[in-house]
Amino acid sequence: MADIAQTPRATTGCAGLDKMLHGGLVEGYCVVLEGSPGTGKTTLGLQFLMDGCKKGEPGIAITFEEFPEQYYENAMQLGWDLKAYEDQGLLKVQFSDPLTFLEGLQDLDGHIAEMVDGMGAKRILVDSVSHFERLTNDAGDLRRIETDLVHALKREGLTSILLKENPHVLGGWDRGDNRVAFIADALILLRYIELESEIKRGVVVLKMRGSDHEKEIRQYVIREQGLVVGDVFQGVAGLFIGSARGGEKN
């Protein structure tokens, strides 16, 4: 097995998160980024691709969102001109549906492999894997789909971020159906945290195989250019089970 400590890191473009990850995502890893609606999953995913573009590491965004212009417009609001990077061959934003995407991923010379080879892609964002749940009602089938997806992305040598929707906004967080988190190499959570009558946002790295990482929950805000990670929530318990107690006002 490769020595993870020696494996280069793919920075996320969010300095605070890279610090939590002790340098960034391990290259070639498949990472699940899970969060409630509007917590910034797409933003952080694009931030990761933009970071790659700036370093000359091309990336692909696969999105199952149905309104392409809205996707570009939202990115523009964050200060990212996706079309300009596409024109430079550093980015490809592909609007797809889950079935077409999976079929394109299966063949070694399928259209995803062709796209990866053609542009020399190093990074990929899948927005979001929750859409695969529409393809089947069978838990075993879904697990196979997700396993095939992770294996195919690794086969292509990509560092991947798979977005995963968590329907819970506040309160207890039921994560019982989260199979893909077991298959993936790393798991990062974004969620809303109610503290002293304010809604804040918190990020935590729950796992990264073979590597140490920070275990604390940190606050973050969303600004132009993406997520900015700040302080650890001090002296509070129960943040991720929705019953924060004893919080200091930060």
The binder of ligand ATP chosen from 13, 24, 28, 40 (CB under 6 A): 40
Task: Tell me if 59 contacts ligand ATP by CB under 6 A.
Answer: no
Among 4, 169, 206, 222, binds ligand ATP (CB under 6 A): 222
Q: Which residue has the tokens 């077991």?
A: 182
Give the rounded distance of the alpha carbon of 109 from its chain centre. 26
Contact 111, 104 (CB under 8 A): yes
Q: How far is the CB of 2 from ligand ATP (least distance, A)?
A: 32
Residue closer to ligand ATP (CB basis): 38 or 171: 38
What span, in angstroms and rounded, lies between the C-alpha atoms of 45 and 43? Answer: 5
CB of 200 to ligand ATP, least distance (A): 12
Given Mg ion, ligand ATP, none, residue 52, with its beta carbon under 5 to 8 Å by kind, binds: none
Nearest to 20 by CA among 210, 161, 212, 221: 212
Q: Per the structure block, which two tokens stand in for 53?
A: 């573009």
Cα–Cα distance, 101 to 52 (Å, whole number):
22
Q: Which of 3, 69, 109, 224 binds ligand ATP (CB under 6 A)?
A: 224
**Binding string, residues 3-42; x marks residues near Mg ion by CB under 5 A:** --------------------------------------xx
- Retrieve residue 76's tokens: 């523009």
Q: How many residues bind Mg ion (CB under 5 A)?
A: 2
- Count the neighbouring beta carbons within 10 Å of the beta carbon of residue 49: 30
Q: Which of 23, 17, 49 is nearest to 35 (CA)?
A: 17
191 binds, among Mg ion, ligand ATP, none (CB under 5 to 8 A by kind): none
Q: Which residue matches tokens 């596409």?
A: 86
String marking each residue 125-164 x if it binds ligand ATP according to CB under 6 A: ----------------------------------------
User: In this structure, are residues 77 and 222 in contact, taking their beta carbons and an 8 Å threshold?
Assistant: no
Size of the site for ligand ATP (CB under 6 A): 14
Q: Given the rule CB under 6 A, which residues bind ligand ATP?
A: 35, 37-43, 77-78, 165, 222-224
